[in-house]
Amino acid sequence: MSKNAGLQIEVSGIVQGVGFRPFVYALAESLHLTGWVRNTSGGVQIALNGPPEALQAFLDALQHHPPPLARLDHIETLSVPPSSAERFEIIASQPRPDQFMPISPDRAICSDCRRELFDSSDRRYRYPFLNCTNCGPRFTIIRDIPYDRPNTTLTDFPLCPACQEEYHNPLDRRFHAQPIACPTCGPQLWFEAAGSGAILAQRENALQIARQWLHQGKILAVKGLGGFHLVCDATNPQAVANLRNRKKRSDKPFALMAFDLDTIEQHALLCQAERNLLTSNSSPIVLLTRHPASSIAEQVAPHQTSLGFMLPYTPLHLLLLEPESGYPNAWVMTSANRSEEPIAYEDADARQRLGNLADGYLFHNRPIHMRVDDSVVRTVHQAAYPLRRARGYAPESIHLHRSLPAILATGAELKNTFCLTHQQHAFLSHHIGDLENYETLGAFEAGIAHYERLFRVHPERIACDLHPNYLASRYAHQRATAEALPLYTIQHHHAHLAACLADNNWDSTEPVIGLTLDGSGLGSDGVIWGGEVLIGGYASFQRVFHLREMPLPGGDLATRNPARMALACLWAIGQPWEAHLPPVQTLCEKERSILRSQLDQRINTPFTTSMGRLFDAAAALIGLRPTTTYEGQAAIEFEAIADPNETGFYPFAFEGQILDPQPVLLALLQDWYTGLPTPILSARFHNSIAQMLLQTCLQIRQQTSISIVALSGGVWQNLFLLLKTLPLLEQNGFNPLIHRRIPTNDGGLALGQAWIAAAQD
């Protein structure tokens, strides 16, 4: 046995509130090391004494097998003389009130808790709020830091003696688990009928009534982790149709939840990466390919080939979905709100806003402090490709490769998120929503205040979109004025480019090619951009190519009217509106003549280089989706029908900087006239865009020798286009960067804004 040595270890990252100290305690005990562990302002500090081999074994285990919820950003070790400590202890910490500490996102129920939930001999058998240091609510219940029970929404639930004991035992899985609860001392369920408000049942009986009502085809509002869901039997077409009617959400797909992976496999075709995401402790909604034999009602996701599934991430959801013979095996689980408002999360507000939507409420009395929606991801090449970053991901910081000043970036108008930076952390907020109404604006302002307090960030700079009329930009302008802070207004597509670079930890001032394609963003020249090929980096950008400008009749209204967009494109390229063309047939004669004079006289008709609108126009041109009920619907359905085996394409015309789709639209029309099926037409259109993008990259590389290509913007949610473009770029020696940690749509924009503001020195 070698002589004892001493070692001090400092660990930073998400190491508090995740069972880190008990883990260290148990590990040190098992290796017969003495010393202590404590929380500090920057993380956790450990002092160890023992033989060098045991110290090394400790370090190995720390690095390679930390507790599941911990994220170790940095480990620093220092050899010190051994002390005479005789045992290992967890010692008290003295947190300073103004210190910074990362906070764990909410985590899906762990396998240990799941086992206890269904173990009739466990004292938490069938208790809907059990949790431990490895799982359960975090961000949604934290009112302030330090993360101690009095600063959570569980402050009004004093612990019973049995919970006390577990809470104070360093060898227990619930040691210092702040949301710890049991049937004796914790939150409880009850069931209310909508309308009368009568309480029909409590606890287990409330759960049983909820299950019965759902089985009968009724719609319930269920209070969950980050807000209320509207829930119904997804295999019951009438129930789903009722929900659609009441929610006034005519086509947008609903999310689904099923008890386990096997059940999801009955409804969807899964790859291993998708299974891993579904069962991860973030537990997002994963967009999957629908199984041809699935019994999910058509109305859940009309005109789509995919279904969005998640697994039960709380004990309550597991109990609701627990299989029983004859019992439906999948629920619709959609955010409880009317159309575009934020998700309901307070009981009184839910009763008021959801009264006409739900037949009954399954409530519980654990308050939600911060509302958070479910996250949505797809997979691309066996890895996550986020579409909405919220529960399970936020507010985990995105670790930066260098320190930034404290910046608040206020994001975009639609799919808003904001971003705060602090040293090497970027806190990209959870999904806030579309800043089009008073409620969402309120959620945005409250969210910013909460993040600033939680993470002790006092912004020194503010960044916002160039568009002065975005509510997020107005907030930024007002705040910059009120607090005399420098304000950076940032072009939308430059922010997309920077967001993609930041997502990929790009740490260079070398410029890259940016294929930034989306629905709309104000350009530096006052035109609405959206089909932009840029060269640049964090500090600056240049616009190298862009789509030809097309009229946008009625401005933003055009997003809801692809048929009008199609006719506007035909008008722009001098093509007659022949009577049998689908978009011509959609509009009556009067509408067409108004549209024509609107175009001729440029009344309320700005111009746009938007790629999203070009997709809308092409889809409507071949009769796919003349009007839409949500943004991007035409393009989504256009993508859904595309034939993956079709390799034909139509060439764009390159006129200097301008990418002219005229020959593409004419060729598409020609093919439509000859009666080619729409899946072929759609595929050829998609292929045309991919080929055109390759051509732009080849031209740029010839002049600049740049071969890094960043793909960002909402159009890249189109996986058909993405999966056609990536191999083209790779086969030609380009190195494409795509989003992996933050959404490619406007939900990732704020991170790019923050980086650009930081680069303006």
Count of residues in contact with Fe ion, rule CB under 5 A: 3
Smallest separation, CB 713 to Fe ion (Å): 5
Parallel, antiparallel or unpaired: strands 735-737 and 708-712: parallel
- Please name the residue that has the structure tokens 């795509």: 738
Residue 70 touches which of Zn ion, Fe ion, none (CB < 5 to 8 A by kind)? none
Residue 132 touches which of Fe ion, Zn ion, none (CB < 5 to 8 A by kind)? Zn ion
Residue 160 touches which of Fe ion, Zn ion, none (CB < 5 to 8 A by kind)? Zn ion
Question: How many residues are listed for the chain in this entry?
Answer: 761
CB nearest Fe ion: which residue?
Answer: 518
Smallest separation, CB 310 to Zn ion (Å): 18
Residue 182 touches which of Fe ion, Zn ion, none (CB < 5 to 8 A by kind)? Zn ion
- Three-state SS for 235? coil
396/746 with CB nearer Fe ion = 746
Q: For residue 605, give Cα distances in angstroms to 47, 533, 631, 677.
A: 69, 24, 19, 33
135/380 with CB nearer Zn ion = 135
Q: What is the largest CA-CA distance in the chain?
A: 95
Q: For residue 130, give Cα distances in angstroms to 287, 304, 346, 468, 660.
A: 29, 37, 21, 47, 59
Smallest separation, CB 314 to Zn ion (Å): 11
Smallest separation, CB 166 to Zn ion (Å): 8
Structure letter (DSSP) for residue 747: G
Among 233, 465, 518, 637, binds Fe ion (CB under 5 A): 518
Alpha carbon distance 729, 322 (integer Å): 47
6/17 with CB nearer Zn ion = 17
Contact 385, 739 (CB under 8 A): yes
Contact 358, 212 (CB under 8 A): no
Alpha carbon distance 38, 7 (integer Å): 14
Smallest separation, CB 493 to Zn ion (Å): 43
Residue 336 touches which of Fe ion, Zn ion, none (CB < 5 to 8 A by kind)? none
Residue 163 touches which of Fe ion, Zn ion, none (CB < 5 to 8 A by kind)? Zn ion
Smallest separation, CB 669 to Zn ion (Å): 59
Residue 116 touches which of Fe ion, Zn ion, none (CB < 5 to 8 A by kind)? none
18/368 with CB nearer Zn ion = 18
The enclosing H or E element of 517 equals strand 512-522
Alpha carbon distance 148, 150 (integer Å): 6
160/666 with CB nearer Zn ion = 160
176/548 with CB nearer Zn ion = 176
Structure tokens belonging to residue 467: 């568009």
Residue 184 touches which of Fe ion, Zn ion, none (CB < 5 to 8 A by kind)? Zn ion
6/612 with CB nearer Fe ion = 612
113/621 with CB nearer Zn ion = 113
Smallest separation, CB 529 to Fe ion (Å): 9
Smallest separation, CB 114 to Zn ion (Å): 8
Q: 60 Cβ partners below 8 Å, 6+ apart?
A: none
Residue 532 touches which of Fe ion, Zn ion, none (CB < 5 to 8 A by kind)? none
Alpha carbon distance 325, 334 (integer Å): 25
- Three-state SS for 570? helix
The enclosing H or E element of 207 equals helix 203-215
Asked if 434 touches Fe ion (CB under 5 A), the answer is no
User: Can you give the binding site for Zn ion, defined by CB under 5 A?
Assistant: 110, 113, 132, 134-135, 160, 163, 182, 184-185
Segment interacting with Fe ion, rule: CB under 5 A, options 188-196, 514-522, 647-655, 697-705: 514-522
181/528 with CB nearer Fe ion = 528
Residue 110 touches which of Fe ion, Zn ion, none (CB < 5 to 8 A by kind)? Zn ion
Segment interacting with Fe ion, rule: CB under 5 A, options 220-228, 625-633, 665-673, 738-746: 738-746
Smallest separation, CB 128 to Zn ion (Å): 13
Count the neighbouring beta carbons within 10 Å of the beta carbon of residue 715.
26
Helix axes 719-731, 678-704, angle to 10 degrees: 40
Residue 599 touches which of Zn ion, Fe ion, none (CB < 5 to 8 A by kind)? none
Smallest separation, CB 153 to Zn ion (Å): 16
Smallest separation, CB 212 to Zn ion (Å): 29
Parallel, antiparallel or unpaired: strands 541-547 and 658-660: parallel
Structure tokens belonging to residue 142: 């934290």
154/664 with CB nearer Zn ion = 154
Structure tokens belonging to residue 297: 């009602």
Alpha carbon distance 748, 754 (integer Å): 11
Segment interacting with Fe ion, rule: CB under 5 A, options 359-367, 560-568, 668-676, 744-752: 744-752
Amino acid letter, 692:
M
433/521 with CB nearer Fe ion = 521
Segment interacting with Fe ion, rule: CB under 5 A, options 192-200, 230-238, 274-282, 745-753: 745-753
Q: What share of the chain is helix, strand, coil (3-state, %, to 5)?
A: 35, 25, 40
18/565 with CB nearer Zn ion = 18
Contact 136, 173 (CB under 8 A): no
Among 192, 413, 465, 746, binds Fe ion (CB under 5 A): 746
Q: What is the CA radius of gyration of the chain?
A: 28
Contact 743, 387 (CB under 8 A): yes
469, 435, 459, 656: which is closest to 555 by C-alpha? Answer: 469
168/602 with CB nearer Zn ion = 168
Residue 746 touches which of Zn ion, Fe ion, none (CB < 5 to 8 A by kind)? Fe ion
- Three-state SS for 228? strand
Smallest separation, CB 121 to Zn ion (Å): 17
Interface ranges with Fe ion (CB under 5 A): 518, 521, 746
